[in-house]
Structure 1
Amino acid sequence: MTRPDRMDLLKRMVAQHGQANVARRIGKSAAAICQILSGDYKASPDAILDLVEEAFGQTTVHCPLLGEIPLKKCSDNRNRPLIATNPLRVKIWRACKECDPSELRNNGGGK
């Protein structure tokens, strides 16, 4: 998704779910969301817009281990701790440590 696409997605999700709910789901403050929407956010909004895309977007990535998966599942796997008692989780944890999801995005097909 492009930055304008992610901004549009943010606007739609705020209209649908409310600013506080969107902020809570991506782990950011409602004030940050308000500032991004009003154009007053002092830093680059890209990191927050990436979180919006992960939480609400339809983007998929090609995981070298799991195949085609939603970006949200990729993000969840990247952020999970190592669970050494589960062989699949160990493989996923190792693969995620070596992976750059921005290079894996499948933006074809309108996603």
Structure 2
Amino acid sequence: MTTNNWLDVLKEETAKQGMRAVAEKLGVSKATVSQVVNDKYKASTHVIQQRVEGVFMAFTVDCPILGDIAVNQCLEHQNRKFAATNHVRVALYRACRNGCPHSKICGSK
């Protein structure tokens, strides 16, 4: 089955790999995957959608620092705490908070 619907892809991957494996790849809990798949998730599914699109559907964004990266990697960089461990990490932290069009951080635009 080939589909462009992220929820169908999530259900397909869960059937093939199991909820635990899919949850680990998405960086969420098994309970979250179960609730989304069974249409019982109460919160917004937007972040889950982006993770599915990045991990299983190869959706990408044009990062101003790294170039073409998977959507889920973009989300991971946005969620990192500041650490001046290297110049790229500092640049990513700043870009994610200062107008990057892909940023989901409140007040970044």
TM-score under structure 2 length normalisation: 0.69
Deviating more after overlay: 67-76 vs 26-35: 26-35
The question of whether the paired residues in 1 share the 8 Å contact of 2:51 and 2:71 is answered with no
Name the counterpart of 2:50. Answer: 50
Task: State the partner residue of 1:17.
Answer: 17
Higher helix share: 1
Residue ranges of structure 2 left out of the alignment (5+ in a row): 105-109
* Higher RCO (CA < 8 A, seq sep 6+): 1
Equivalent pair of 2:50/2:72 in contact (CA under 8 Å):
no
What residue is the counterpart of 1:32 in the other structure?
A: 32
**RMSD between superposed Cα atoms in Å:** 2.6
User: Which deviations, in whole Å up to 9, do the C-alpha atoms of 1:67-98 show, x marking residues without a partner?
Assistant: 22222332232223323141222112111112
User: Aligned-pair distance for 1:102?
Assistant: 6.6
CA change 1:44–1:74 in 2 (3 A) is: closer
Q: Which residue of 1 aligns with 2:107?
A: none
Runs of 4 or more above 6 Å deviation: none
Question: Is 1:101 equivalent to 2:102 in the alignment?
Answer: yes
Unaligned runs of at least 5 residues, structure 1: 104-111
* Map of 2:75 onto structure 1: 75
